[in-house]
């Protein structure tokens, strides 16, 4: 069962959901809008001949920071990593990341597969931004980029994410899949 705006607001007040810089105007009927940060990680295309995750052959990344005025130009067919401005999490609720339909209609994918945040995981989420359009899309820091939904668990989890999680506080780079610079 997903939480309504009323439930989300109550959970914020009761400290069972944490969202940095919570702004009531970003609260939707069943979700909360989050914004894009200013740092992006781009793959250095020349750093490997191919990517082989099983054998840990992974590309190197370059971190760039842009202002809202200049923006980041996401070219067609390119995937980059970005990060949310908001840090959020909950001990009690499963959080689901969802793209915004207005941006999806333009060809922007916000996450390829990594859309679930386990209870106990507090983070600025890393976006897997991809342009599926045939023309560039300008991404600007501070823009509404995605929304998060909160689902009630049928019971508390037996495991604590902080003990088993791959991407705990400050770790940043588990097996090379999440580059350190953006975390």
Gap between the Cα atoms of 177 and 7, Å rounded: 34
Angle at 26 between CA 21 and CA 29, to 5 degrees: 135
> From the candidates 13, 62, 128, 163, which is the catalytic residue?
128
What stretch of H or E contains 88? strand 88-89
* Residue whose structure tokens are 């929304």: 147
Nearest one of 146, 126, 142, 143 to 79, comparing CA atoms: 126
Q: Is 128 part of the annotated catalytic residue set?
A: yes
Indicate which residues carry an active-site annotation. 128
């Amino acid at each position: 069962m997903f939480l309504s705006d009323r439930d989300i607001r109550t959970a914020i007040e009761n400290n069972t959901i944490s969202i940095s810089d919570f702004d009531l105007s970003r609260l939707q009927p069943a979700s909360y809008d989050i914004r894009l940060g200013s740092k992006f990680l781009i793959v250095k295309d020349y750093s490997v001949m191919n990517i082989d995750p099983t054998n840990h052959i992974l590309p190197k990344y370059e971190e760039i920071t842009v202002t809202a005025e200049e923006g980041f130009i996401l070219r067609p067919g390119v995937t980059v990593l970005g990060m949310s401005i908001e840090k959020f999490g909950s001990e009690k609720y499963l959080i689901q990341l969802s793209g915004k339909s207005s941006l999806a209609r333009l060809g922007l994918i916000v996450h390829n597969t990594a859309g679930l945040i386990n209870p106990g995981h507090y983070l600025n989420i890393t976006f897997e931004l991809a342009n599926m359009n045939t023309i560039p899309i300008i991404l600007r820091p501070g823009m509404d980029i995605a929304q998060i939904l909160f689902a009630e668990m049928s019971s508390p989890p037996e495991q604590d994410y902080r003990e088993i999680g791959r991407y705990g506080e400050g770790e940043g780079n588990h097996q090379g899949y999440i580059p350190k610079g953006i975390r």
